[in-house]
Structure 1
Amino acid sequence: MHLVPRLASVVLTLGLSASLVGCGFHLKGLSPTSIPVAYPHMKLNLPSEAMHVTDSNNNMIPQKNTLQIKLKSYLSGYGIQFDDAKEAYTLHVLDYHYRRQKLSGRVAEVILYLNVTFQIEDAQGRPVTTPRSINGVKSYQYNVASVNVDDNEQDAVISILIDDVAQQMARQIATNRLPHIQPAPASAPTVTP
């Protein structure tokens, strides 16, 4: 008795859902790609240290995965265009500090630190957001007897560290989760009697 009305409601619901999906109707979600981009055009202003990677002896390590390349890749994926538009915002990296710490022993442990402080500036160079720091830490171990393993592993871990920091920066910029600078309150005029 109750089977026919239930079956009819299920068929009607499925048919209505299929017709809505077929005509292009989609519910709005909260995925990063559905959020309007707050900074549609952008330029990068990075210190020279962010353009390449150096080892503990200040020798340049050839890297195809610098912070600049990674940021452009991830932010472009969020819909941000890198061009010289006159209304383009600037992603200004204020501080880029890479540090390598080696702990000695039978098996050496190396800890790599990367600290990046950045802010967004408008086309006139005025800060739009307060400076934000992103910290990344990665470590690896190697046997002291096999020196080449340290160099190869270090290059891979540095690349992962830069990638991790760039992803964090891109997510915060694309989702507009950076604290904005509050305009200074207007001072009240003084009244003289």
Structure 2
Amino acid sequence: MTPQTLIKATLVAAVLATGSFGLTGCGFHLRGFEAPLHFDVAKTVVNIEDNKTAFPLKLPLSKRLKALGVDVIDGMSVSSDNLPAEPLAAITVKNIQFRRYELVGVLTEIRLVLSADVTYQTLQNGEPVTLSNPIQVERSYQYNEASVSTEDQQGSQIRDWLYDSLARRISDQYVAIGLPNTASTPAKPMIKP
């Protein structure tokens, strides 16, 4: 590698690093809103049923919420004795269930559906907000029962995908609740002389 090529590569890396640091520190916000997105409540309690169907949702939901900047508290670890003094938001997920539909033929068409009832409790502009919503995600695949492998490996992969998809939908709705109700006033159009 020649010294000129090395200098060019170093400059490109420096420009990319500077650009990425500048972008993260600039106060990213959604177009149409004057301020960056922030939640009125810093900590959110996530309550998920304690059973084998609901348990696999805890990790992907916590990861998604933490990626959004939400401080997640597990609902199982919260009691009236150790509640923080500041206000808490809550996401309660109940009635998590799988349904499996099969269309049997030469190849079996399988449709897996994961549904849950989700309740959000938070503050918006200082006012308590409660929203309940049923959420459903689904995915279809084909399974050949006449194959050499009798295991339904794709079914277990689809289940993992459904948990991730449900976690994404729950976190997206939580963010939507936190969005301001009114957008900023549009900029005045420039008048050309």
Q: Would you call these one fold, judging by a TM-score over 0.5?
A: yes
Larger Rg: 1
Contact residue 27 and residue 36 of structure 2 kept, 8 A: no
Deviations 1:60-86 (A, max 9, x none): xxxxx8111111000001111123534
Q: What's the % identity of the aligned pairs?
A: 23
How many residues are treated as equivalent by the alignment?
141
Instruction: Summarize the alignment of residues 114-193 of structure 1 with structure 2, pairs less than 5 Å apart.
Output: 114-121=114-121, 128-146=129-147, 148=149, 150-176=151-177
Match of 2:50 in 1: 48
Match of 1:74 in 2: 64
Q: Call closer, same or farther: CA 1:151–1:157 in 2, change over 3 Å.
A: same
Query: What's the TM-score once normalised by structure 1's chain length?
Result: 0.61
Q: Please state whether the residue corresponding to 1:112 is helix, strand or coil.
A: strand
The separation in 2 between residues aligned to 1:148 and 1:46, in whole angstroms, is 35
The separation in 2 between residues aligned to 1:150 and 1:103, in whole angstroms, is 18
The separation in 1 between residues aligned to 2:129 and 2:27, in whole angstroms, is 32
Match of 2:187 in 1: none
Deviation, structure 1 residue 40: 2.0
Query: What's the TM-score once normalised by structure 2's chain length?
Result: 0.61
Structure 1 residue ranges without an equivalent (≥5): 1-20, 55-64, 179-193
Match of 2:105 in 1: 105
What is the one-letter code of the residue matched to 1:103? L
The separation in 2 between residues aligned to 1:39 and 1:27, in whole angstroms, is 19
Deviation, structure 1 residue 118: 0.9
The separation in 2 between residues aligned to 1:96 and 1:151, in whole angstroms, is 22
The separation in 2 between residues aligned to 1:85 and 1:147, in whole angstroms, is 56
Q: Call closer, same or farther: CA 1:28–1:43 in 2, change over 3 Å.
A: closer
Contact residue 112 and residue 140 of structure 2 kept, 8 A: yes
